[in-house]
Amino acid sequence: MNSGSPYKSCGESNKITQHFTNPEWKWEDFIGYNAYTESRWFDREHFSKTAALKCGDEWKKANIDIPVPCVGHKKAEADAPVFTVEGLLYRDLVGVITEQLKDPESFKEMYLQPFSEHWKPTENDPPVRVYGEIYSSEAMLKAQRQLLQKLRNLPCPQPEAFIVALMIASDSTFLTQFSQASMWPMYMFFGNVSKYTRSSPESLAAHHVAYLPKVCHGPVSLAQCSESAQIDDKFSEFYMKTYHRVPPAEVVTHVKRELVHSVLRLMFGGRFSEAHERGVITECADRIARLWFPWLVCHSSDYPERFALLSRPPQIQS
């Protein structure tokens, strides 16, 4: 009762003792019991068979192929064994932006044209520049000027053009307090919307755009009782079958980094890349056709995810 988390009550302790006094209670059943192993078994039985999100309804499904290196096995990357990460669910970002522009409630919260904001304490004081929103930042004003200069050089006139400022965020999280089941969601916010609106849960300003599959957490065996024992079974089995050894730390880092980079290439390539270069004409909620260009402002993540994104490729020697 007094060990571990302090959030336990006398009532919960009494419930535990009721199980101990049950005639069907057998201490032999707890020989070799491991809470991590049982939790992983529970997750596989109950979370893997039913998915909250399925392919379709704007969601797409993809597999990621990652060449896996090994210490002592020197070969070209094209000839390296390929591990396939299954289960990436993602949305087309161009479609999400178009939906935002066409929805009347969402569109009315957007500032299409950037501007500078100033404040004068008194009538005689000089104006002071106010920095508080992305759409009033100097960076977005500069990007808008560059965009208009680019459009002026085109031979034919274009409709009203503006920049859609995108803010990407990701954060791996556990689904429940007592389970090892976890998800790695990726969100997208619009910088054209006020920060006060974005920070309000009731505004529904966060758009879920991807659920990344989790590959591994560390080079450990499945019998170990630690947080890092969540290492993905399929990757461990693949590596053991291919190289006959447990994956070392540098290979784990390599796979996690390649996974994140592959997912970002998939999401920001194709239609998104074309929209960034040529723009997209959309009839907005006010029934006016406009030309918009996506602009990635930031990608927010915690330290482990940022390390996986920016870490160097491992220096694996033969």
pLDDT in tens, 56-91: 557 888 888 988 888 777 778 788 889 888 878 899
Q: Is 255 inside any structural domain?
A: yes
Residue with tokens 């309804």: 57
Q: Is 117 inside any structural domain?
A: yes
pLDDT average, residue stretch 89-109: 93
Residue with tokens 């960034």: 276
Distances (CA, A) of 200 to 168, 187, 196, 205: 17, 15, 7, 8
Q: Considering its fold, how many domains does the chain have in total?
A: 1
**Which residues of 22-139 form beta strands (DSSP E)?**
59-67, 82-91, 117-119, 128-130
- Residue 94 clears pLDDT 90, i.e. is over it: yes
Q: Which domain holds residue 136?
A: 33-310
Q: Is 28 inside any structural domain?
A: no
Give the rounded percent of residues in the chain with a pLDDT score beyond 70.
75
Q: Between β-strands 289-300 and 207-211, what pairing exists: parallel, antiparallel or unpaired?
A: unpaired
Q: Which residues pair with 280 in a beta bridge?
A: 292
Q: Which residues pair with 155 in a beta bridge?
A: none
Q: Is 17 inside any structural domain?
A: no
- Residue 248 clears pLDDT 90, i.e. is over it: no
**What pLDDT was estimated at residue 95?**
93
Banded pLDDT at 105 (limits 50, 70, 90):
very high
pLDDT average, residue stretch 290-314: 77
Q: Is 18 inside any structural domain?
A: no
Q: Is 23 inside any structural domain?
A: no
SS (H, E, C) 231-255: CCHHHHHHHHHHHCCCCCHHHHHHH
Q: Is 9 inside any structural domain?
A: no
Q: Is 167 inside any structural domain?
A: yes
Angle at 231 between CA 227 and CA 237, to 5 degrees: 150
